[in-house]
Amino acid sequence: MRNEGKKNVIGILVDAVDYETAVEFILREAKEKRGATVSALAVHGLMTGVMGAEQRFRLNHFDLLVPDGQPVRWALNLLHGVKLHDRVYGPTLTLKVCERAATEGLAIFLYGGTHEILSALTKSLKERFPAILIAGTETSRFRRLSPREKRELVSRIKSSGASIALVGLGCPRQEVFAYEFHKQISMPTLAVGAAFPFIAGLLPQAPPWMQDRGLEWFFRLCSEPGRLWRRYLYLNPAYLCLLALQALGIKRFSTKGVCPTHEELYG
């Protein structure tokens, strides 16, 4: 197990951990019924915190932010010399958590995506882990929830019998969701991004050689250019420039943010 603690990557506190440490933390929090917050953070997710003071506050108050993307792992190694040998990829972390949950009889709740995604995801998880307990599923509403809808959703998740909530709303909505819900549901909430459609088999994943070389962004850009071109063509160069400034000691990045003054909960 590797756990080098939280490290500052251009103002965002990323946990220098491996899969084993992350899974053990999540399972422990589930068994102890604590509302922990976990997110698998790639460059896009990290940059949402860099560009927004409120989002930076949320991210830096997460219990666990794991390095989802290779460029985030490389930054941890470059800036802090932690020598992580692998990233903690959201879809793989999701499968590892589901496998352990199935083995230990802990039920999961799936929130986010469409009916098609959740149906295919449920089928895929049950085929992979026949003993898995899925306490409930609920689709995204793709809009802001009213206070009443939020209370009702909290009630449904809590009464479902789940021990772990997996949230696939896309970044940054899923991190906002986890931050605003964690005190109200007594279970770890995992923001896992595109893990839902990937595991469901509805969205192609980059081949391993591209993932290992940090080129997953290019594969996804080619797959969904209309939706992702702004994210990658603007944010990736900005990330590299800011990282260079930190590595060269030209700029120090504060981890302080601004506490959100109102809820931004989307579902």
Strand partners, 109: 136, 165
pLDDT tens track for 75-103: 999 999 999 999 999 999 999 999 999 99
Q: What's the Cα-to-Cα distance from 6 to each of 11, 65, 82, rounded to whole Å?
A: 11, 8, 11
CATH code reported for the domain at 3-200 = 3.40.50
Which amino acid is present at 93?
Answer: L
pLDDT tens track for 4-38: 899 999 999 999 999 999 999 999 999 999 999 99
Q: Where are the beta strands (DSSP E) in the chain?
A: 3-9, 12-17, 37-41, 64-67, 108-111, 134-138, 164-167, 189-191
Task: State how beta strands 134-138 and 108-111 pair.
Answer: parallel
pLDDT over 80 (residue 264): no
Which amino acid is present at 81?
Answer: G
Which residues, in sequence order, are CB contacts of 183 under 8 Å at separation 6+?
A: 35
pLDDT for residue 231: 74
Q: 10 Å Cβ neighbour count for 143?
A: 9
Instruction: Determine the number of helices (DSSP H) and then strands (DSSP E) in the chain.
Output: 12, 8
pLDDT for residue 184: 86
Query: Mean pLDDT throughout 221-246?
Result: 84
Which residues, in sequence order, are CB contacts of 235 under 8 Å at separation 6+?
A: 43, 44, 47
Which carries the bigger pLDDT value, residue 248 or residue 181?
A: 248
Query: Mean pLDDT throughout 98-113?
Result: 96
pLDDT for residue 266: 62
Parse the chain into domains and list their residue ranges: 3-200
pLDDT for residue 220: 79
Query: Mean pLDDT throughout 107-122?
Result: 96
For residue 48, give the H/E element and its range.
Answer: helix 43-51
pLDDT tens track for 224-236: 777 777 777 788 8
pLDDT tier for residue 265 given thresholds of 50, 70 and 90: low
The string of DSSP codes covering 178-209 is HHHHTTTSSS-EEE-TTHHHHHHTSSPPPPHH
Mean pLDDT, all residues of the chain: 91
